[in-house]
Chains A and B, each alone.
Chain A
Amino acid sequence: MGEARREIRFLLNGEDVALRDVRPDETLLDWLRLRRALKGTKEGCAEGDCGACTVLVGRLGRDGLTYESVNACIRFVGSLDGCHVVTVEHLAGANGALHPVQQAMVDFHGSQCGFCTPGFVMSLYALWMRTPDPSVAHIETALQGNLCRCTGYEAIVRAARAVSSYGDAGRDPLVAERAAVTARLQAMRDGRRVEIGEGRERLVVPASLDDLAAVLEAEPKATVVAGSTDVGLWVTKMMRDIAPVVFIGALRELQAMSEKDGVVTIGAGVSYTAARDFLAGRIPALGELIDRIGGEQVRNMGTLGGNIANGSPIGDTPPPLIALDATLTLRKGRQRRTILLEDFFIAYGRQDRQPGEFVEAVHVPLPAAHEKFAVYKVTKRRDEDITAVLGAFRLALGDDGTVASVRIAYGGMAATPKRAPAVEAALVGRPWTQASVEAAMAACEADFSPLTDMRATAGYRALVARNLLLRFFLETTGTPGPLGVSRYEVA
């Protein structure tokens, strides 16, 4: 492994960057604007919700060089080692000719005040690279993390639909430079740990999973940062001191996904985007759920491990994973232990994780063919919103039509993601009928005493929790007609 490197290296547009003086909590947005005077990237919210700061980050992975949209406002510079950062300034041609994405936005009147526009351009650019001829659903999903207050979006969607007719991908800078960028990024890889600064200035980028274990054993109070979609706000909003920081986003060993004997294992560093692609075909309900977590930028950064490790009562993935009897592998030094995910959440803000210990992987048993599984997320706004109530349901019926087993877990109903034991007990052994379900709905009160906050009142949460069980019943019993509202026709 050799001696630690004392600088972060990455590519910024066409330029090699090596930084020795980067603070662990320095955001990419501030760095771009304040240190590099690249002012096309805007700050709209500094919490990863509005997308005005959207840039692309390219990384070498299993599939070669891939680019993803990210929120520069909550992305730390220290996490960019070995990456290619692409800002809006890189898009136009050398002669000032606009990129097809930009030209379409101009031609279709996709900007009014223009402040959000560079962010939209970058999100549409990422979409264009991945899906050159996108459907409206593709476009809307790609734009979940971009807010525009002027246009009402119609003109932007028109532009996005038209881009494919502008042609000439060959003129695109990232297409043209692909081989050269790949070579330059490969040349940056030296397999060494990166360490910069001391005390409140200290950041570490471990070289490997074993190195991470060693770092955390030596520095158990370090803040572990994967996608920084949560920790980013500790800095930009709470102004908390997070050093020393250990950046794990680049550790490939944490990004492994596999399936063996009906159990899917997902590394803690797998992004939502990657997990979605892997899970959607295996557990469709999880794929659909992930499409409604944050915006595209957040899904590209945020990880399944982070969603679990931060212990939030409104994290979206724990309830369905609990309902699926998922387990966690925790690691400290060389020691590993595996526990039920359900047992990981002890109380609000408290998890079963020792100092120096980290989440390594989550193991998700696939539902059996005869089992029915569903997840419902209820929010004020359909997309890019934090859960008011989320319900996850897994049911197996016996041959006689009675409930052989049932797992029900909710988010937003208690201080932690939590199972509903009284509801489950009211169902097991009973016939799967509306009468049984209504009796079980009443038992919800015994399981939960939800709170009132800015997202929902206690009364609404309790009512919705009950009704989601009813929806699950209606869906599993073939009730005709639409049983929920949907933006997209089911394919």
Chain B
Amino acid sequence: MTTHSPNLKAQKIAGGVHTGQRHDSAHKHVAGTAVYIDDITEPAGTLHAGLGLSTVAHGVLKSVDLSAVRAAPGVVAVLTHEDVPGVNDISPSAMDDDPVLAEGRVEFHGQPIFCVVAQTRDQARRAARLARIDYEELPAVVDIRDLDADKDRQVTSPLTLRRGDAAAAIAAAPRRVKGRMRLGGQDHFYLEGQVSLAVPGEDDEVAVYCSTQGPSETQHMIARALGVPSHAVTVEVRRMGGGFGGKETQANQCAALAAIAAKKLGRAVKLRLDRDEDMIATGKRHDFAIDYDVGFDEEGRILGVDYTFALRAGFSADLSGPVGDRALFHCDNAYFYPHVHAKSVPFYTNTVSNTAFRGFGGPQGMVGAERVIDEVAFAVGKDPLEIRKLNFYDEMGTDTGRNVTPYHQKVEDCIVARIVAELEASADYARRRREIAAFNANSRVVRRGIALTPVKFGISFTKTEANQAGALVHVYTDGSVHMNHGGTEMGQGLHMKVAQVVAEEFQIDIERVRITATTTAKVPNTSPTAASSGADLNGMAAQDAARQIKRRLIDFAAEAHQIPREQVVFLPNRVRVGNEEITFDELVRQAYMARVQLSAAGFYKTPKIHWNRAEGRGHAFYYFAYGAACSEVSVDTLTGEYVVERADILHDVGRSLNPAIDLGQVEGGFVQGMGWLTTEELWWDDRGRLRTHAPSTYKIPLASDRPKIFNVALTDWSQACEPTIHRSKAVGEPPLPLGLSVLHALSDAVASVADNRVCPRLDAPATPERVLMAVERLKAEAAGAR
């Protein structure tokens, strides 16, 4: 990069907040020069690790004969649980149920039993296949279909939310519907798989380059597994090739194993999973069975509702407790329930331990809410959109008492009615619904469907202590700025947004701000970059750091020039000191000469929030983000194949820090959510083996799956009610459930084969097969009803 010469006459800095900026690494992405973990130049003598995975879903390890593995070409060492020097556990929830390497028993097909280290990755992978392992197979629980919440094992304590008397309200309601929905999980399919490179240091030290969303937790897990203090372990990540929640806890196993091997052998060790291994051995979005019982009036107003959200946790707790919690937190979506009872059931199963995935259970909760809306709509014979609008929370500025969530938090910032009204108009919903009805009446094979669904998404970690962040900002004597914070970059443009915040504070062009790799050595005890919180938390922490330095600069200038502090004003790339303007660089140089500290650690913690899980009550979220999507599909009723004809989205990100990046988050989130609910199907066989473990069998959307017409807009009028970073709102997760509109559009198309009289109860993922089978079922029901 050439030296930057700032424009000293500018009205505005280049790259301030509320401007559309390119991703900081875009030019490197396209040139292939952005460095991911596997691209880091390896230290001489780097060894490569491979994993030996369980071939049964549940069993006792009777004998583990690794002699052939050890004897294989290139093999340097083979590690088992006995080689873990510290605690053989990486449970993120302190449940001690997540072994680094299996000990005595295996609890899912694909569980790592041993780790082989060889001269090359190919040798390690080949050697790993040579193990002779004798299992005493035990009965395996694969599906949650027939499990009983009262009898069957759960991995952690469930949550119950209650407000009012749901049972009585449902019983007394004029109308009532009960049902069950099955909702599939989702593989993250980050393009860069799990990978860690561990480089041993002096004494007990180790440096680990790891594709992780939570460097601090990875650090702590490595330290625990090694049996060393956290200060001996440094974890660093410049960027990930995608995360989506899949590298929040799931990065820890590769990191710990690479570190253990590196310390044992005194050489750098890299562990990079093959795609199939990654999909088999690491956790995914939870699939759910949602039981609902709803009472409502003849208009379609919900009076009381009861939900049970059963989720497939897998063999360990991991984050299943909080994922189940967040499903309950979103079982209202944007709707007011006068009486509600909802519980989560995190079932133990002999499958991989499910984990965080963009939305973290929230989207699953919303799927339940939207199914209930559909049921009510079909029962009273109205357009589901009418039922949605009838049940919205009170809009901001009105208070009819319909504004309390199932967890007793008052919704004070609701803008969903306005968003839906604007989208309904811009998408021309009413006209298109009429046209679709006319089309369907005359179409023998193809049916069309349309749906408009809202999103309300709660922003904050429900684990209160996670809502804190740190940053470190240095200003060098040439006026260039080094920026570091606890957040990680996984493609979401977080580093760019935080850099914009720092540039804005100092009023310097964005090129003056250097983005640096996230490392536990610069900012300690950080929260994982998750829960959409990255910019909210780290932006505030970086702003705090920058403001500390700025305050010192102002103090210095005021004192040096004997003027009041208010007469030191930061202008674009320059500072007005009294009547004179000097460059930012010059002020910095003068401050240095006067021995002013030009470095600061910033900190932020989210105010207002609290949550009492035992009582199911609190101010769980700092604020809510809103949006809505309207999708139209065509369905082939001979095969179930479909095309998304059009999608219109209006989404609220408050006052956007970077509209270009936010638009990308909304588009990408929608398509990812659509994929989850349509073609992405996880399929286990009866022996508990995942058979969709590669892109050849697991189908995420392609370019040719995105809507043929795709109109996406951000609300240009909204702003966060709370003093968030420049009044912006979080954008990582909230757009994902916009994809629900596609599921409901498919459902609408299916319903047309039975004259829109029967609720299709279309489960997800709505593969062509599920769509066709729903078509057949509805045709049969309609025929039977005649």
A residues in contact (CB < 8 Å) with B: 30, 33, 37, 39-47, 49-50, 52, 87-89, 91-92, 98, 101-103, 105-107, 109-118, 121, 139-141, 143-144, 146-157, 236-237, 239, 376, 378-386, 388, 453-457, 459-460, 463-464, 467-468, 470-471, 474, 479-487
Judge whether B104 is part of the interface by a CB distance below 8 angstroms.
no
Residue B178 is within 8 A (CB to CB) of chain A in the complex: no
Are B23 and A380 in contact, with the CB atoms below 8 A? no
Report whether B244 and A149 are in contact in the complex, using a CB–CB cutoff of 8 Å: yes
- Give chain B residues whose Cβ lies under 8 Å from the Cβ of A107: 22
- Shortest 10 CB-CB contacts between residues of A and residues of B: A40-B32, A113-B491, A115-B241, A114-B29, A152-B671, A112-B491, A49-B695, A381-B699, A88-B32, A111-B29
Q: Which residue of A lies closest to B489 (CB)?
A: A113
Chain A nearest CB from B765 CB (Å) reads 9
Cβ of B61 < 8 Å from any Cβ of A?
Answer: no
B437 at the interface (CB under 8 A from A): no
- 5 intermolecular pairs with C-beta atoms under 8 Å apart: A42-B36, A107-B22, A113-B191, A454-B692, A480-B444
Do A381 and B36 contact each other (CB < 8 Å), given the known contacts A47-B275, A152-B668?
A: no
Given contacts A454-B697, A474-B444, list 4 more A-B pairs with CB under 8 A.
A52-B191, A115-B192, A147-B702, A471-B445
In the complex the two chains form, what is the Cα distance from A223 to B492 in whole Å? 45
Contact B30 A117 (CB under 8 A): yes
**Pairwise interchain contact B694-A49, C-beta atoms closer than 8 A:** yes
Smallest CB separation, A53 vs chain B (Å): 11
Question: Which residues in window 233-255 of B have CB below 8 A to A?
Answer: 239-244
Residues of B within 8 A of A89 (CB): 31-32
Residue from A45, A118, A152, A381 in contact with B679 in the complex, judged by beta carbons closer than 8 Å:
A381
List residues of chain A with CB within 8 A of the CB of B33.
Answer: 40
Is the C-beta of B7 less than 8 angstroms from some C-beta in chain A?
no
Question: In the complex the two chains form, is A139's CB within 8 Å of B702's CB?
Answer: no
Q: Are A150 and B668 in contact (CB under 8 A)?
A: yes
Asked if B664 contacts A150 (CB within 8 A), the reply is: yes
> Closest approach, in angstroms, between the C-beta of A129 and any C-beta of chain B?
17
Report A-chain residues with C-beta under 8 Å of the C-beta of B27: 98, 102, 106
Closest chain-A Cβ to B729's Cβ sits at a distance in Å of: 19
**Complex formed: what's the CA distance from A41 to B636 in Å?**
39
> Which of the residues A45, A101, A155 comes within 8 Å of B695, measured between beta carbons?
A45
Contact indicator B660/A140 (Cβ below 8 Å): no
A140-B703, A485-B642 given; A153·B671 CB < 8 A: yes
Query: Which partner residue on chain B sits nearest A121 by CB separation?
Result: B30
The binding surface of chain A is classed by DSSP as: loop
CB-CB contacts below 8 Å: B695-714 with A: 695-697, 699-706, 708, 710, 712
Closest to A464 in B: B639
Q: Verify if B498 is at the interface (C-beta below 8 Å from A).
A: no
Name the A residues within 8 Å of B705 (CB-CB). 381-383
Contact A385 to B699, CB < 8 A, known contacts A39-B39, A151-B667, A454-B691: yes
Contact of B192 among A44, A156, A379, A486 (CB under 8 A): A44
Residues in B whose Cβ lies below 8 Å from that of A114: 23, 25-26, 28-29, 34, 239, 241, 491
Most chain-A CB neighbours within 10 Å: which of B276, B492, B643, B696?
B696
Contacting residues, chain B, for A239 (C-beta < 8 A):
125-126, 129
Whether the pair B702, A152 counts as a contact (CB closer than 8 A) is: no
Interface centre among A45, A50, A107 (most CB of B within 10 A): A45
Within 8 Å CB of B710, what residues of A?
154
Question: Could you say which residues of chain A place their CB within 8 Å of the CB of B35?
Answer: 39
Interface residues of B (CB under 8 A from A): 22-23, 25-36, 38-39, 41, 122, 125-126, 129, 188-193, 239-244, 274-276, 442-446, 490-493, 634-636, 638-643, 660-661, 663-664, 667-672, 679, 681, 683, 685, 691-692, 694-697, 699-706, 708, 710, 712, 767-769, 772-773, 776
Question: What are the residues of chain A within 8 A of B696 when measuring CB–CB?
Answer: 47, 49, 386
Docked-complex contact B191 and A106, CB < 8 angstroms:
no
Residues on A with beta carbons closer than 8 Å to the beta carbon of B191: 42, 44, 50, 52, 113, 115-116, 147-149
Interface residues of B: mostly helix, strand, loop or mixed?
loop
Per the bound structure, the CA–CA distance linking A113 and B238 in Å amounts to: 11
Chain B residue with Cβ nearest A461: B769
Q: How far is the CA of A112 from the CA of B25 in the complex (A)?
A: 9
Within the complex, the shortest CB–CB distance from B445 to chain A, in Å, comes to 5
If the complex has contacts A44-B191, A109-B660, are A485 and B635 also in contact, measured as CB distance less than 8 A?
yes
Residues of B within 8 A of A154 (CB): 667, 671, 706, 710, 712
For the complex, what is the distance from the CA of A54 to the CA of B89, rounded to whole Å? Answer: 39
CA distance A454 to B32 in the complex (A): 35
Please name all residues of chain B whose beta carbon is closer than 8 Å to the beta carbon of A383 when the two chains form the complex: 702, 704-705
Q: Shortest distance in angstroms between B282's beta carbon and chain A's nearest beta carbon?
A: 15
Closest Cβ of chain A to B527, distance in Å, is 20
Q: Give Cα A468 to B25, complex, Å.
A: 48
Residue of A106, A453, A481 near B442 (CB, 8 A) is A481
* B641 with A113: CB separation less than 8 A: no
B445 and A484 contacting across the interface, CB-CB below 8 Å: yes
In Å, the complex CA distance between A117 and B241 comes to 10
Is there contact, CB below 8 Å, between A153 and B702? yes
Report Cα–Cα, A474/B443, bound state, in Å: 12
**Is A485 a contact of B446 with CB atoms below 8 Å?**
yes
Contact A47–B446 (Cβ < 8 Å): no
CB–CB B772/A460 < 8 A: yes
Query: A113-B241, A149-B700, A153-B706 are known contacts. Are A380 and B768 too (CB-CB below 8 A)?
Result: yes
Q: Which residue of A lies closest to B32 (CB)?
A: A40
> B660 contacts which chain A residues (CB < 8 A)?
109
Give the most central of B36, B122, B679, B708: most A CB within 10 Å: B122
A479 to B635, CA, bound (A): 17
Residue of A nearest to B699 (CB): A381
Please name all residues of chain A whose beta carbon is closer than 8 Å to the beta carbon of B22 when the two chains form the complex.
Answer: 106-107, 109
B242 with A115: CB separation less than 8 A: yes
Nearest-CB residue, chain A, relative to B241: A115
Contacts of A474 in B (CB 8 A): 444-445
Listed residue (A42, A383, A456) with the most chain B CB atoms within 10 angstroms of its CB: A42
**Complex partner residue of A153 from B26, B491, B703, CB under 8 angstroms:** B703
CB-CB under 8 A for A112 and B691, given A149-B191, A149-B244, A385-B699: no
Q: Which of A39, A114, A483 has the most CB of B within 10 A?
A: A114
Q: Which residue of B lies closest to A48 (CB)?
A: B696
Bound-complex Cα distance A167 to B128 (A): 51
Q: Which residue of B lies closest to A120 (CB)?
A: B30
Among A385, A468, A474, residue most surrounded by chain B Cβ atoms (within 10 Å): A385
Measured CA separation A43–B710 after assembly (Å): 30
Closest to B769 in A: A460
* A147 CB contacts on chain B under 8 angstroms: 189, 191, 695, 700, 702
Could you tell me if A109 and B26 are in contact, using CB atoms closer than 8 angstroms? yes
A78 to chain B, nearest CB (A): 16
Residues of B contacting A148 with CB < 8 Å?
191, 703
Query: Which residues of A sit under 8 angstroms from B668, Cβ to Cβ?
Result: 112, 149-152
* Alpha-carbon separation in the docked complex, A236 to B681 (Å): 24
With both chains docked as a complex, state the minimum distance between the C-beta of B448 and any C-beta of chain A, in angstroms: 10
> What are the residues of chain B within 8 A of A463 when measuring CB–CB?
772, 776
B770's closest neighbor in chain A, by CB? A460
Is the Cβ of A150 less than 8 Å from the Cβ of B641?
no
* A106 contact set on B, CB distance < 8 A: 22, 26-27, 30
* Residue of A whose beta carbon sits closest to that of B767: A380
Question: Is there contact, CB below 8 Å, between B695 and A152?
Answer: no
Alpha-carbon distance A52/B192, docked complex (angstroms): 9
B26 A152 Cβ-Cβ under 8 A: no
With the chains together, A47 CA to B275 CA distance in Å? 9
- Smallest CB-CB separation from A295: which chain B residue? B702
Q: A50-B191, A106-B22, A483-B445 are in contact. Are A453 and B691 (CB under 8 A)?
A: yes
Q: Which residues of B contact A39 (CB under 8 A)?
A: 32, 35, 38-39
A445 to B30, CA, bound (A): 52
Residues of A contacting B242 in the complex (Cβ-Cβ under 8 angstroms): 113, 115, 149-150
Most buried by B among A37, A111, A459, A471: A111
Query: Which residues of B lie under 8 Å from residue A43 when comparing CB positions?
Result: 38
| A44-B275 in contact given A52-B191, A482-B443 (Cβ < 8 Å) | yes
